[in-house]
Amino acid sequence: MFQLHRHKIASTLLPTLFHHYSTPKIPTAAALMIADEILTGKVQDCNTYSLTKLFFDKGIQVREIRTIGDKEQDIVTHVLELSQKYDYVITSGGVGSTHDDITYASVAKAFNMELQYHRETIEKMKEVYAKRYEIKENTIEGSKQLKELLTSERLRMALLPNYCQVFFTPTLWTPLVQVHNVFIFPGIPELFERILLHHEHVFANGSKKIRYAILSDHFESEFSLAMRSLAKKYEPMQISIGSYPNFSKDMLGYEVIVTVEGYEEEIVDKASHELYKVIGGTKRIENEKEIQNLLEKRTKKIVSQWKSYKKVDTTDDADDSMHDM
């Protein structure tokens, strides 16, 4: 029978921990997803996952994620507010050629700028189209073909804020556009991730968090009180504890995965050992890649399980597992 471990804070412990602890340098960021199609359920947002995963590895703390529609004043308001609060603001979406692609114009308006055609973006566009359609640029016929391809609507995607920095990705003409601390990305997930990974050096590294994970065969509700006490104890040392249950143990071989994150290995190690006892741990994992794979596998399994949930009868065992979801 699982016995709940109740831990009291030793009066001699905290001064020792505080003595070694120093506040790390933590760049902050916010993500602003701009897409009516996300708000209306037409597409899923994949880009925030790519962003937060990379920024976690770089030691950049994502403090907010907002999703708004393609409305100029909403974009202006949120861009200005977020740019004043955080070191980096990442926008996604609204940089295409259609009537509702207004991110460049809205960001320009937010910072009292004008739009102008960006010559290098147009040249990159020509290069990509010439290669795609096997056009010889330096011929009369080739120039004519490119002129026909580069319609006013396509060139609209090269209308950028007049005071911006532009970064290009190999084989792509779509730029990463920076206006002050705002970075404008396309919304297409493949493009977003490719551009993000190629230009990750643009974002300064902070103090990377150390993360350990602990597996348990017990429901969250069996140890939540003791875990809450432990989280409160370590909060002054910027230790965060997160608990992620499964739909059922049969899916992945454990009921709950609990993570411990912090900036100093000694404190993370101590907190994770205490937590192991508190939750009746079966395994402690220190390898970050293994933890990432475990969390990704859990997410995929739960999404798959919920998609088929209505197709099967709900058993008492499933109900027991669900009450901690």
Q: Print pLDDT tens along the chain (325 aa).
A: 344 444 333 333 444 444 455 667 899 999 999 999 999 999 999 999 999 999 999 999 999 999 999 999 999 999 999 999 999 999 999 999 999 999 999 999 999 999 999 999 999 999 998 998 888 888 888 888 998 898 999 999 999 999 999 999 999 999 999 999 999 999 999 999 999 999 999 999 999 999 999 999 999 999 999 999 999 999 999 999 999 998 666 666 788 999 999 999 999 999 999 999 999 999 999 999 999 999 998 888 877 776 665 555 544 444 444 334 4
For the chain, give every domain's residue range: 13-23+209-322, 28-202
Architecture of the domain whose range is 28-202: 3-Layer(aba) Sandwich (3.40)
Tokens of 136: 């010889």
* Cβ 95 vs Cβ 184: under 8 Å: yes
pLDDT attached to residue 14: 44
Q: Whole-angstrom Cα distance, residue 272 to residue 212? A: 7
Tokens of 75: 């974009």
Beta-carbon-side half-sphere exposure of residue 281 (alpha carbons within 13 Å): 19
Please calculate the CA angle 27-19-205 and round it to the nearest 5 degrees: 20
pTM of the model: 0.84
The CATH code of domain 13-23+209-322 reads 3.30.70.2860
Q: Whole-angstrom Cα distance, residue 66 to residue 53? A: 17
The residue among 116, 120, 90, 64 whose CA lies nearest residue 180 is 90
